[in-house]
Chain A
Amino acid sequence: MPTSVDSGRGLGDIHATIQAYYDQKLQRYGATPLGVDWTCLATQELRFVHLLKLCDFSTAFSLNDLGCGYGALVAYLTKYHSQAEVDYLGVDLSAAMVRRAKRLHQRQGNVGFINGSVSPRIADYSVASGIFNVKLHHSLVSWERFVRRTLVDMDATSRRGFAVNFMAPVPRGQSSPVELYRTTPDAWASYCQEELGCSVEVLENYGMREFTLLARPERLAYRHRRPRPLAHP
């Protein structure tokens, strides 16, 4: 169960192992869904469909994509929302991923990528797909600290809201690899509501054993005037 206290310290080890894990994936599978640990393009894009339900495509907006990998979301936006004006910034812990993303999308306007754990800018929306799923050898306590820190950062860098997805628990009697982090919607929805002051919409039962949280700040007007300062780990 998430707690409210979040120092943000001590995440260096988690960030380093995540970076190493995805560097290795990229090296093995290249800039493909497998390279960012998804089964295939179709499942990767179905997740984008749900995450982007946060965004209002009728007007131009800026978007931070945390854990952007090789920038698959850019290709998705081009394919399905070609009319939309999106100012996109991809952020990833893996420098190799960022290099690959820059190379792949170098000719696209309004698209940028940076290496890091938090977006340096405040955008209208932030999304993160699958970044909480693979906890590797880290303890549940450390991993949930990482999740909290990330949610706080996403909230602080999003004017109009943020969206994240999580893997849901498997049915009783089935096992799941210990390296994966599975959780229920209630815990993190409550965290976003109570600690971050967001209104939360939970999307589930969309054909995958996971759920998506769409979190929107409840006091939009206040957020527009005074963005919450970033607290770096």
Chain B
Amino acid sequence: MGGFLPDHHVPRHLDRINQRFGPDDPVKEMAALHKQFDLFSGQHSLKDVFKVLNIASVENWAHRRKWFDYLEYLKGCPSDKKGQNGHDRILTALKQNLESKQPAAVHFTSHSSSQNPGVFVKKGHKPLHYSTQAYLTLSLPMTRIEKDRQRRRRRSGR
């Protein structure tokens, strides 16, 4: 994850989000929360919204902070929408979905930033090979820390 979190904590964080945006009750609750508090309207950063939703580690405060740092880092990432950064792309995709008549469950996943450096969104996607459930899929770019270190070393000529 580019050094923000230890590798083995990344699935846990993605799972935390997916639990809160999952099919049926969770996504209905999220739509209700958005309707009431305008969570994804763009007035608040993802970091602030995820704080209010408590989608972050509660056991390890260093990981919690790093996760929020990663959400901020997405402001500097591109997205599949021209002119929109990864952070804002997530906000607008969630807003549109939660304000639709039938909000779809949302699945957060990751991909290698070496293949695609930006956030991308897929609608009506079935990302789980064991499930027929369609999701709005949001894929977050992540980097192997070793690779990043090598790049850093190459850049600095060491």
Contact = CB atoms under 8 A, between A and B. Distances in A.
Interface of A: 29, 32-34, 39-43, 45-46, 49, 206-209
A34 B33 contact: no
Contacts of A39: 20, 53-54
Interface in B25-67: 25, 28-33, 35-37, 39, 52-55, 58
Given A29-B58, A42-B37, A208 B52 contact: no
Given A29-B58, A34-B58, A209-B25, A46 B32 contact: yes
Given A29-B58, A33-B54, A43 B25 contact: no
B25 A46 contact: no
Contact of B52 (A29, A42, A49, A206): A42
12 contacts: A33-B54, A34-B58, A39-B20, A39-B54, A40-B54, A41-B54, A42-B39, A45-B37, A46-B33, A207-B32, A208-B32, A209-B25
Contact of A43 (B28, B31, B33, B58): B33
Q: Is chain B's binding surface mostly helix, strand, loop or mixed?
A: helix
Interface residues of B, number: 17
B54 A208 contact: no
A183 B35 CA distance: 26
Contacts of A49: 36
Contact of A40 (B35, B36, B53): B53
Interface string B103-140: 00000000000000000000000000000000000000
B48 to A, nearest CB: 11
Q: Is chain A's binding surface mostly helix, strand, loop or mixed?
A: helix
Contacts of A42: 33, 37, 39, 52-53
Contacts of A206: 32
Contacts of B55: 40
A208 B53 contact: no
Contacts of B32: 46, 206-208
Q: Which of A43, A45, A208, A209 has the most CB of B within 10 A?
A: A43
A41 B52 contact: yes
A206 B30 CA distance: 11
A209 B58 CA distance: 24
Q: Which of A32, A42, A49 has the most CB of B within 10 A?
A: A42
A40 B52 contact: yes
Contacts of B30: 207
B124 to A, nearest CB: 23
Contacts of B52: 40-42
Given A207-B28, A207-B29, A209-B25, A46 B36 contact: yes
Contacts of B58: 29, 34
B65 to A, nearest CB: 16
